[in-house]
Amino acid sequence: MTQHIAQHKTATWFNAKGHGMTAMLIACAMLGSTAVWAVDPSVKQLRIGFQKSSINFAIAKQQKLYEKEFPNAKISWNEFPAGPQILEALAVGSLDIGVTGDTPPVYAQAANKPLYYIAYEAAKPLASAILVPKSSQLTQLSQLKGKRIALQKGSSAHYLLVQAVRKAGLQWSDIQPIWLTPADARAAFQKGAVDAWAVWDPYLASAQVEDQARILASGKGLSPNYTFYLASPDFVKQHPQAVKSIIQQVNIADKWVQAHRTETAQSIGQSTGLKPQVSQVFIDRRPRPSAAAPLTAKVIADQQQLADRFSELKIIPNSINIKQAVWTAK
């Protein structure tokens, strides 16, 4: 009986959709075979900037989701060490889409560099932290006074450190920020050339697993640590439908990640050179799910708070309005 009902429902669905499907096939034939599956056949190239922390993009790249979605386009993937470098490339027209943490777009907008926020991923405060060596005597944030702290300028770790210093009752001038890329910061940290290191995953996970680094403070209660998808305004204006499809593919990738976490860790390890244990720690720390969605009022408010804090400290030269840079699908 159940089987009969299922067959009847399938047949009813097919019959109800039959005329529409025929019309669609005829329309596709009229458009030409190369455009049948393209959401926006006018997209001739898609240049994507990503970093080691970009799990959803990494899986989309591996599974060629964008090559399938945009068969008429040349898809190029460009890896960067951190978000600031991605937004520099976006600003000079070398990228169409990029993914960064929360601080890089604030720096870029303050410098009048063109960008649109097109989506965000759920906050992940545990995926960034201030690390100290396992033998360090530092146990409280207030002890950072006078200490040398490595970090990438303009990265999400920058905001984390700003908030940590504030929570400790210190002034920004009380610490010695040492501006280094993640790779150079790791080397300095291992040599003992710095007292602490503010960083994000997977560098955070790698230092914990391989160097037995100790977390002095995570982003919990300090920084929401959002991931943002950003786009060139020119690309958005020319291909608004493609932007929607780009985000849809991110979410297809995230669904796969949530259902295949062990396989994802193995894949990320192979593509980045991370040890399996490091990849697993990194993956397990991500929210479930970590899909991309349009920015909410709360996310915009949190990001505005970051911008206002940086403006107060003169870290950026002027105040900015985050909402003005948020793209809304029509």
DSSP code at position 195: S
Using CA atoms, how far apart are residues 180 and 211, in angstroms rounded to an integer?
A: 18
Using CA atoms, how far apart are residues 151 and 161, in angstroms rounded to an integer?
A: 9
Contacts of 121 (CB under 8 A, 6+ apart): 56, 226, 227, 228, 287, 290, 291, 292, 293
Report CA torsion sign: 48, 301, 124, 85: positive
DSSP code at position 224: -
Q: 111 exposed, middle or buried (CB, 10 Å; 0-12, 13-18, 19+)? A: middle
Task: Give the tokens for residue 86.
Answer: 């991605």
DSSP for 71-139, written as a single string: TTSEEEEEE-SSHHHHHHHHHTTS-SEEEE-SHHHHHHHHTT---EEEEEE---GGGEEEEE-TT----
**Domain 45-122+226-325, CATH among 3.40.50.1110, 2.60.40.10, 1.10.640.10, 3.40.190.10:** 3.40.190.10
The domain locations on the chain are: 45-122+226-325, 125-218
DSSP code at position 230: E
**CA nearest to 94, candidates 113, 112, 110:** 113
Using CA atoms, how far apart are residues 155 and 127, in angstroms rounded to an integer?
A: 13
Q: Return per-residue pLDDT of the chain as tens, 330 residues.
A: 444 433 333 333 333 333 443 343 333 333 333 333 446 788 999 999 999 889 999 999 999 999 999 999 999 999 998 889 999 999 999 999 999 999 999 999 999 999 999 999 999 999 999 999 999 999 999 999 999 999 999 999 999 999 999 999 999 999 999 999 999 999 999 999 999 999 999 999 999 999 999 999 999 999 999 999 999 999 999 999 999 999 999 999 999 999 999 899 888 888 778 888 898 898 999 989 999 999 999 999 999 999 999 999 999 999 999 999 999 987
Answer yes or no: same fold for 45-122+226-325 and 125-218: yes
Neighbours of 13 (CB within 10 A): 10
C-beta separation of 255 from 289 below 8 A: yes
DSSP code at position 221: T
Using CA atoms, how far apart are residues 221 and 111, in angstroms rounded to an integer?
A: 28
**Domain 125-218, CATH among 3.30.470.30, 3.40.228.10, 1.10.150.240, 3.40.190.10:** 3.40.190.10
- The model carries a pTM of 0.85
**CA nearest to 285, candidates 161, 132, 160, 128:** 128
